[in-house]
Each structure stands twice: as structure tokens, then as C-alpha cells.
Structure 1
Amino acid sequence: MDNTTIRDSVGYQLAYASKHQQNQLITALDELDLQGGQELVLAQLAETDGCSQSDLAEALSVKPPSITKAVRKLEDVGFVERQRDPDDARIQQVFLTEEGEKMIPPIEACWSRTEETMLDGFTTEERLLLRRMLIQIQENIGMPYETKE
């Protein structure tokens, strides 16, 4: 075993960078009156509108109570609405409202600005390589990367 300290490890550097990227993103989202994580719910609904809360939780790798809380807050501000599934009244489907749909472009702009800051000085090839390596890390730790089909 080498003498690498925790702070020198790739995992620490990845977590540290992720934490600070998340802090920058939260600051940017605050300008949209969104809390961190709510933008991911809205973005997921932009891709799969009308999905169940349990499907949202699975897609975002969070626990169902976290989704319930986020959906409730987003519903309170008029960005989403819940409806009972017509085939199974036990299931709540979540839909973007018109106001929620309007939030997608500003959310994407926040993510884009944050990513540009984070990857400043990287070439296109380095960005693609980093992305590929991060996907491999996700697969290595049992969190396979999902592509849109």
C-alpha cells in the first residue's frame, strides 16, 4: 500500500470538487427561488412527465420521502401537480405545470454556467475523457450510467 493520504485520494478530490460544484449550483439556483435538488426533479419531469413519485426517486437515486418533500414544495409554488394514476389510485403521478416548464431553460443555463466554470481550461477531448472516466467510476461502484433511449 502506498502512503497516499485520504486528502490525496481520487475519491476525496472527486467528493471535494463535487461538493463545491454543488455549492456553486445552489447559489445559482437560489436566484431562481429553487432549492438544491428541486431542479433535478423538474429536469427529470421534463424528460418523463407524468411519472410516479417512486419512479422519480429511483431515477434520481434518492429515497421516496425526499421526493415526496421536494414534490410537495414544488407543488406549493405551482411548478408541478400531482394526479392519481387512472389505472391505480394508490399511485401519484407528477406533472410539470406550464410554470414548471418555463423553469427548464433557466435551470439548464445554471447548470451550463456552473459546468463551464468547473471545466474552464479543459479541452474538448479532456472533457469527453473526464466524462467517460466518471461514467466508468459510476459503473465500478454499482451505479450504472443510464442513457436516454
Structure 2
Amino acid sequence: MDSSTIWNSVGYQLANASKRQQNYLIAALDKLGLQGGQELVLAQLAETNGCSQSYLAEALSVKPPSITKAVRKLEDANLIERRQDPNDARVQQVFLTQEGEDMIDPIEACWNRAEDAMLDGFTTEERLLLRRMLIQIQENIDMPYENIN
């Protein structure tokens, strides 16, 4: 691929749009006292409270050390707490604290504002089509790294 065509590629446009959305969210989340990515841990716990750190890492498609660091920071901020799994002493379960639960609505509001800004001017049908296409892109590229040529 000629290097000048990279800037016109769908992949570059997708990555650039993603980075801009991430920057928008980071600015909004900073007002809540959160760092980018921490909101995803809290949102996941709102869905699966009491899960293990390894489950969080898998659900959020990040490496376990990244989750360990995020959990530690969120625990220091009193937004989550870790408890030993009653069935397996080697596993710690992660739970939202009341303060963490209180963050879910403001987090969702930040994401909704970012989505509204990002999709301004799109019809409902275009939003649904874009969402479907992005899911297909994720499925297409979701392969073990050892299969990449």
C-alpha cells in the first residue's frame, strides 16, 4: 500500500475517529475524577458485580496487568472493593462500592454526550447501520494474533 493512501483508508479513519472520541471522553471523565478506561471497569461491574479480575480483563479485552492497575486505583478512590471468593481463596472478586454505584449514571451521561456529539447529523437508520458495521469489523478482526500473516 502506497504510504499516501494510508490517510484515506477506512482503518485510519476508524482509528482517528476512535482516538478523537477517546479524547472527548477523557476530558469529560476528568471532571468526574476518573481516568480514561476506569469508567469501563465501573460500567462492567455494574453489569457483573462481584466478578474476578481475570473476567474483567477478558470482558474489556485488556491484559491482566492493566486491570490490576485500574482496580488498585479505583480501590484507592473507594469506588470498588476486592473480596476473597468464598469458593476459591486464590480468587478475589471485585465489587462496586456505593460511591462506585453512584458514578454509573454520570459515566453513562458522559458516554451519551460523546455519542451524540460524534453522531450529530446521522439519522437513526445511519446510526444503526454504522453500529452494525462496526460490530462486523470487530468480528472480522477478532482473531488470535498468531493467525496474522
Same fold (TM over 0.5): yes
Partners in 1 of 2:135 and 2:7 — Cα distance?
A: 22
| Alignment correspondent of 1:24 | 24
Partners in 2 of 1:2 and 1:41 — Cα distance?
A: 39
* Unaligned residue ranges in structure 2 (runs of 5+): 144-149
Number of residue pairs the alignment of both structures matches: 143
| Alignment correspondent of 1:104 | 104
Deviates more, 1:122-131 or 1:2-11: 2-11
1:16, distance to aligned residue in structure 2 (A):
0.3
Identity of aligned residues (%): 80
Provide runs of 4+ in structure 1 moved above 2 Å: 1-4
| Alignment correspondent of 2:58 | 58
Partners in 1 of 2:18 and 2:128 — Cα distance?
A: 18
- Residue correspondence of structure 1 range 42-81 to structure 2 within 5 A: 42-81=42-81
1:54, distance to aligned residue in structure 2 (A):
0.2
Partner SS, residue 83 of structure 1: strand
Give CA deviations for 1:56-101 in whole Å, capped at 9, x if unaligned.
0000000000000000000001000000101111101000000000
C-alpha RMSD of the superposition:
1.4
| Alignment correspondent of 1:12 | 12
| Alignment correspondent of 2:147 | none
Compared with structure 1, are the counterparts of its residues 126 and 2 closer, same or farther at alpha carbon in structure 2 (3 Å cutoff)?
Answer: farther
Q: TM-score by structure 1 length?
A: 0.93
Partner SS, residue 7 of structure 2: helix
Partners in 1 of 2:133 and 2:111 — Cα distance?
A: 20
- Residue correspondence of structure 1 range 65-144 to structure 2 within 5 A: 65-142=65-142
Partner SS, residue 95 of structure 1: strand
Partners in 1 of 2:25 and 2:101 — Cα distance?
A: 19
Partners in 1 of 2:2 and 2:95 — Cα distance?
A: 51
Q: TM-score by structure 2 length?
A: 0.93
1:12, distance to aligned residue in structure 2 (A):
0.2
| Alignment correspondent of 1:34 | 34
The residue identity in structure 1 corresponding to 2:36 is G
Partners in 2 of 1:21 and 1:50 — Cα distance?
A: 29
Partners in 2 of 1:105 and 1:135 — Cα distance?
A: 25
1:142, distance to aligned residue in structure 2 (A):
1.8
Partners in 2 of 1:96 and 1:3 — Cα distance?
A: 47
